[in-house]
A = this chain, B = another copy of it.
Amino acid sequence: MAARPEQVLFQDRGETLDEEGFGMLGRMMVALGEIEGCREFAALIPEVRTNLVYARERAKGRGDVLAIDGRITVVGGLPRAAGKVKFGASSHMARLVIELRKKDPSVRAGIDFAWTPHLSAWLEQYCGEKGWVFSVIDRHGEPEEIREAEGASMPWKVAEAVRAAGGKVPKIFYETGAIGKEPVSVLVGRDPVEVAAQACEIARKYHGPG
């Protein structure tokens, strides 16, 4: 059989990719190229590494979210994707974006990066200049029963980020560290190309002169 363009084998035999998927994959490749070319962003990659995710218009679960298998790490001083762009390659960031979309469906992409008190203060001011909503998820406030129930954390986290921003879905927010958990910053947006460009601009301005 000749493959119909709209119904092709993808990754695992038997899976198919549709028109939306092709366009999403292309955008992710361009976004990733932007990140991999941004030396300043390497300094913002946390110990747990960075992921970049992009959810389908009607995403229900992590299988509907493109992400980078093995995440993005630093090699030779530059950001580098460890593996391929695949649907289902992220758990945490994928679920975060899916949960956020319940509050604001225009959010379809996100990237996580390092957090320090100094960066955080800088980001809060930067968001002010941009007119972006900035927020925080303070894990200290997380009820014990939620923290221990598998999968129950994400709705609480997103609700907390929105609550702390006075009811708005934030553009940038961070999760505080906890025992065994590194604190990270998160930036979200409409698509990965936009999100990558914004993350790189932040990296360049934060590390730049003045």
Contact = CB atoms under 8 A, between A and B. Distances in A.
Given A47-B47, A83-B75, A182-B181, A30 B17 contact: yes
B23 A8 contact: no
B34 A9 contact: yes
Main secondary structure of the interface of A (DSSP, over half): mixed
Interface string A97-123: 000000000000000000000000000
A8 B30 contact: yes
A24 B27 contact: no
A38 to B, nearest CB: 10
Most buried by B among A10, A21, A179: A179
Given A76-B69, A182-B181, A197 B30 contact: no
B27 A193 contact: no
A135 interface: no
Nearest to A12: B37
B10 A27 contact: no
A64 interface: no
Interface string A1-13: 1111100111100
Contacts of A84: 33, 75-76
18 contacts: A2-B197, A8-B34, A10-B33, A22-B23, A22-B26, A25-B25, A47-B47, A49-B73, A70-B73, A70-B74, A71-B73, A73-B73, A73-B82, A80-B82, A177-B179, A177-B180, A178-B180, A181-B182
Interface of A: 1-5, 8-11, 17, 19, 21-27, 29-30, 33-34, 47-49, 69-71, 73-76, 80, 82-85, 177-183, 189-191, 193-194, 196-198, 201
